[in-house]
Structure 1
Amino acid sequence: MKVPTIEQCYKIFEDYSVPAPIRNHCEKVTEVGLLIGRQLQDSGMEINIPLLEAGCLLHDAFKAASLKSLDPKPEWGYYPTDKELKIWGELREQYKNTHETLIVAEVFKKTHPEFSTFLAMIGSTGNPCYLEGGIELKVLHYADWRVQFVEIVSFDARLNYLRETYRDSWEKHGVSWDKRHEQEKELERQIFKNLNFSPDDLNKELRQSH
């Protein structure tokens, strides 16, 4: 599979003026994803690290397009620039009602078709197609859901946050929360049965890796 280089990933950040809070989230998810991915690889599991890294970096690159407004966040020291607002408006117009992962997939459709398909499977809250994907997709998803903004939180806390935040989306897609919750917890069990640390020790393990 042809995978974008790290330089190409960061060029996307620059070309589309990805707001700093979104970029910071993507980078934190990448840290977590690579920690898990490399340790799974060390345990003997076959895993495509470049694919995992590029996917983690780009998974939310177009998150701004899903926002109804691009507002200042003083608590994060973030104030949108004129260029960010301009590109945000263009993306909102070009990709109406399109999930952010599908926008990234569309951007890479011609140059990296297999990678585009991979990105499209990240899915949305109401469409958990990542559960049917390979280990790279599952690790990416899990890493993303362990990172709330740029802070590592427990999986249960993250699931509760997402349940409340995206309640309308769950119900719109007819998602059974009890079933979905168990699927997510089973995914966590599958990942960590091959690791030598527990989900609760993820933050500690990340600090030690630095």
Structure 2
Amino acid sequence: MTVPGIQQCTDLMARVQLPPHIQEHSLRVAQVSIFLGRHLNRNSVRLDLELLVAAALLHDIAKGICIDSGCSHAALGAEMLNDWGYPQLAPIVAEHVFISPAAVAAPINESIVVNYADKRVRHTDIVDLDCRFADLIRRYAKNQQHEQALHAKLELYRQLEQRLFEHVAIVPADLGKATQEDLSVGA
């Protein structure tokens, strides 16, 4: 299984002309993912940190394209990664936007960590779930039904957060320290 390294991920971002602000967001999501992943791996969870970093860096690879066209950036990103020969990244990218109750209850994996990390990063700021979802509601809720759906998703993410942090000796607020995190897997 070939996983792109950090430089390869950066090259792929350049290839699709991913806007700089989305690249910066993706870097921050990768920092949160590896920070949390390292803490989870010190306990009972076994994550592939190389896969985790690559998926986090590339989770929004199609966002620049879809901003203009209105397509699903998660679905298109997964398709692009499959086409480029990275099928192991595709499901993580495809699943990073939403979460189901079944996923919250499932074993912790790279997909869950990237999904959660993305919900903790607003632009390039590491924020709590309430702040992130307030931003999502403000930007994307087109009607009351959509706003209610986002509130329901927030509750699922709170449950996921509780599950994730049962396995580590840190609290959610500690994710602010992730800005100093080295993305190299050996670190």
Relative to structure 1, the CA distance from residue 175 to residue 55 in structure 2 (aligned partners, 3 Å threshold; closer, same or farther) is farther
List structure 1 segments (4+ residues) > 4 angstroms apart after TM superposition. 207-210
Q: How many residues are paired up?
A: 178
Candidates 158, 164, 169, aligned match of 1:191: 164
Say if 2:29 and 2:118, in contact at 8 Å, map to a contact too.
yes
Which amino acid in the other structure matches residue 195 of structure 1? V
Q: TM-score, normalised by structure 2?
A: 0.82
Relative to structure 1, the CA distance from residue 109 to residue 209 in structure 2 (aligned partners, 3 Å threshold; closer, same or farther) is closer
Q: 2:129 matched to which residue of 1? A: 155
> CA offsets, 1:113-136, max 9 Å, x none?
2322332222x3xx5359627521
Give the Cα separation in 2 of the matches to 1:10 and 1:170: 38
| Higher-RCO chain (CA-CA 8 Å, sequence separation at least 6) | 2
**Which runs of 5 or more structure 1 residues have no equivalent in the other structure?**
69-91
Give the Cα separation in 2 of the matches to 1:100 and 1:130: 22
Alpha-carbon offset, residue 10 of structure 1: 1.4
**Which runs of 5 or more structure 2 residues have no equivalent in the other structure?**
183-187
Structure with the greater alpha carbon radius of gyration: 1
Give the Cα separation in 2 of the matches to 1:28 and 1:169: 30
Which amino acid in the other structure matches residue 137 of structure 1? S
Q: 1:128 matched to which residue of 2? A: 99
Q: TM-score, normalised by structure 1?
A: 0.74
Give the Cα separation in 1 of the matches to 2:140 and 2:28: 22
Which amino acid in the other structure matches residue 63 of structure 1? K
Give the CA RMSD over aligned residues: 2.6
Say if 1:27 and 1:56, in contact at 8 Å, map to a contact too.
yes
